[in-house]
Structure 1
Amino acid sequence: MASVSSQPQFRYTQPPSKVLHLRNLPWECTEEELIELGKPFGKVVNTKCNVGANRNQAFIELADLNQAIAMISYYASSSEPAQVRGKTVYLQYSNRQEIVNNKTTADIAGNVLLVTIEGQDARLVSIDVLHLVFSAFGFVHKITTFEKTAGFQALVQFSDGETATSARNALDGRIIPRYLLSDNIAPCTLRITYSAHTDLTVKFQSHRSRDYTNPYLPVAPSALDGSSQFNLGLDGKKLEPESNVLLASIENMQYAVTLDVLHMVFSAFGPVQKIAMFDKNGALQALVQYPDVQTAIVAKEALEGHCIYDGGFCKLHLSYSRHTDLSIKLNNDRSRDYTIANPALVNP
């Protein structure tokens, strides 16, 4: 079997930035360890440690763009991956150009996010679409939407600042997933800061405000349209039921895609439990199982339409599977159960 390192390396189609996003770090990775990792390539001027739901992601900012490019290029072509405490670390350019330290109210981490939806059709984004997007990171307590001079905005309340920070780090600057919106709605971008609020006041459920912790709140007539959108979506089509198992179809396969390649790609978003590869209608497909639906949602939104290799090769198309627990009878080059310690036979 060809090793992962002998293949062109997976990367995001993200423009270069002085700030690099690191995934799969050891628990409670320190600033000193991040500086040590970047030191061979230049001066690390800022870091942001222990971000993400599992506190295993980080950002490092190098002194200039060329240093960041050198670091990404080195590990993209090296047979030795970036490592911290013996653990393989995945690097990509961040969608931010600098790391902003907590200096203003908007940058002080809180449990309520202020979300500005940018786009000519921003006002057509329903409260239920926002709920689907932010629920990928944890239980959403309340949402209120309103219009200000800054545009169409929402306040999203989580139970704690850590969950809110995970959502902000992952979604700030991102486009709302296309599959959640009607075809006639132009792309909408999320700009996210922290709010000074800690507990939103929601007096009734409506198309502008929801309290997901109180099922006994009175419902305004206007909420009925919104609640139907929760199941049907804005375009009237039924939303795809979410699952912890993703079905990946791979097109334009100019390079071999192995289990190890798929595991590396999908592990960037959380622990992969099982993978099963198979051929269908002349194309390679794979089922990838995560421990929970939230992780699968994040992976699907991040990877849909991305290519595993440079040049548009091995493009991923993802959907939710009806499976929830894959049955892996044998660990081989087409299927593997990563929850079993012994990589030999699952069932002798």
Structure 2
Amino acid sequence: MSTASQPQFRYTQMPSKVLHLRNLPWECTEEELVELCKPFGKVVNTKCNVGANHNQAFVEFGDLNQAISMVSYYASSSEPAQVRGKTVYIQYSNRQEIVNNKSPGDITGNVLLVTIEGVEPSDVSIDVIYLVFSAFGIVHKIATFEKAAGFQALIQYSSAEYASNARIALDGRSIPRYLLPAHVSSCILRISFSAHTDLNIKFQSYRSRDYTNPYLPVNPSAIEGTLQHTVGSDGKKKELESNVLLASIENMQYAVTIEVLHTVFSAFGSVQKIAIFEKNGGTQALIQYPDATTAAAAKESLEGHCIYDGGFCKLHLTYSRHTDLNVKAYSDRSRDYTIPDTSLLVGPQPPGVPSSAPGWQGAPHQCNNA
């Protein structure tokens, strides 16, 4: 199941005369933005080339009704807003004006202090924070902690410009709903500049990360913390997510090969790596996705289902402590799909499913009293 396409509009924001435009062509010019917007009113200010890929912008109309007119028009139009043939996604900004010129007293820098309101520390992983903030620039380091103000994070960018872009776009906004646990309806980001310029990250863990140093030691106890079940505000235990799933396979009447697992799990997104192994007399597998969101969708859909009719090869899924599997690129027990294998281009692939397997059609089956 591929990820649904992005909606062109979001209705969670209150109307503003400032519009936030995404998916613009690289280095989109102010003239192109004005050309797109001028049928709806006078553009009084713009901020172009926002974000790591310079493909976002802010446009400020002279009047609120002009901004509403543009959003309403494209919301009901069969033709999306486009610049250079690219569909542009439009939403109201949480700001009421664009401020390009900073006063001398303003504090700026490359490190942001983020307070995440409305959540427990276990509700928002460091990977989710990275996913949200890296959309606006190159994130070097993240450190999370708990203070009297609540759950907070320090986020270090490669430049002050990226940090400023992220603060403008995200301050007062919520982390997207699909990245939050089911019991959290929304959480508000309160963002200011930190006095820090270079965070001192001593080890990689679920509370701190240095993306510039792959050789930094990992704190085993801290990583183990990501595997623990924590108690949410609803009193229920919940499992912290990972981009790697651990699959235990029971009632194995038929062999489960790399090809079979790839077919089943790739229905929910791009599978990067797979490793099959034996443990405690049973067969298990590790399946790596690009992100925890895709892994969560696969886990929810496949847990308790059977690969074959008749209750055979039943899947039980949990999150793994791993985030990047070290596997052989091409073998009968492991596969790295991020590395092209030229041998696959020569001749037919060996069948992954025994021909005697009843009812297998490349999709899992609901088990019947298996």
With structure 2 as the length reference, what TM-score do the two structures score?
0.51
| SS class of match (2:97) | coil
Counterpart for residue 53 of structure 1 = 52
Counterpart for residue 73 of structure 1 = 72
Greater shift, 179-188 or 114-123, is seen at: 179-188
Counterpart for residue 13 of structure 1 = 11
Unaligned runs of 5+ in 2: 1-6, 246-266, 271-289, 295-335, 340-370
State the AA in 2 paired with 1:142.
K
- Cα offset, 1:106, TM superposition: 9.7
Counterpart for residue 239 of structure 1 = 242
Q: Do 1:133 and 1:176's aligned partners in 2 also have CA atoms closer than 8 Å?
A: yes
Distance change >3 Å, CA 299–CA 31, structure 1 → 2: farther
- Cα offset, 1:169, TM superposition: 5.7
- Cα offset, 1:98, TM superposition: 2.7
- Cα offset, 1:67, TM superposition: 0.9
- Cα offset, 1:183, TM superposition: 4.9
Unaligned runs of 5+ in 1: 1-8, 243-285, 290-295, 301-321, 326-348
- Cα offset, 1:134, TM superposition: 4.0
- Cα offset, 1:41, TM superposition: 2.1
Distance change >3 Å, CA 128–CA 67, structure 1 → 2: closer
Distance change >3 Å, CA 229–CA 189, structure 1 → 2: farther
| SS class of match (1:96) | coil
Distance change >3 Å, CA 56–CA 176, structure 1 → 2: closer
Distance change >3 Å, CA 70–CA 162, structure 1 → 2: same
Q: Do 1:171 and 1:190's aligned partners in 2 also have CA atoms closer than 8 Å?
A: yes
User: How big is each residue's C-alpha offset from its partner over 1:220-279, in whole Å with a ceiling of 9 and x where there is no partner?
Assistant: 68635545469xx9822553549xxxxxxxxxxxxxxxxxxxxxxxxxxxxxxxxxxxxx
| SS class of match (1:69) | helix
Aligned length: 251
- Cα offset, 1:166, TM superposition: 5.9
Question: Identical aligned pairs, as a percentage?
Answer: 69
State the AA in 2 paired with 1:11.
F
Q: How does 1:1-348 map to 2 (within 5 A)?
A: 11-14=9-12, 15-78=14-77, 81-85=80-84, 87-103=86-102, 110-119=109-118, 121=120, 125=124, 127=126, 129-131=128-130, 133-134=132-133, 140-148=139-147, 150-161=149-160, 163-164=162-163, 167-168=166-167, 171-177=170-176, 182-183=181-182, 187-203=186-202, 208-214=207-213, 223-228=222-227, 235-236=238-239, 238-241=241-244
- Cα offset, 1:155, TM superposition: 0.7
Distance change >3 Å, CA 19–CA 83, structure 1 → 2: same
- Cα offset, 1:58, TM superposition: 0.9
| SS class of match (2:68) | helix
- Cα offset, 1:159, TM superposition: 2.8
Greater RCO between the two (CA within 8 Å, min separation 6)? 1
- Cα offset, 1:182, TM superposition: 5.0
| SS class of match (1:235) | strand
* Structure 1: distance between partners of 2:135 and 2:28: 24
> Superposition RMSD on alpha carbons, in Å?
4.9
* Structure 1: distance between partners of 2:218 and 2:76: 57
With structure 1 as the length reference, what TM-score do the two structures score?
0.53
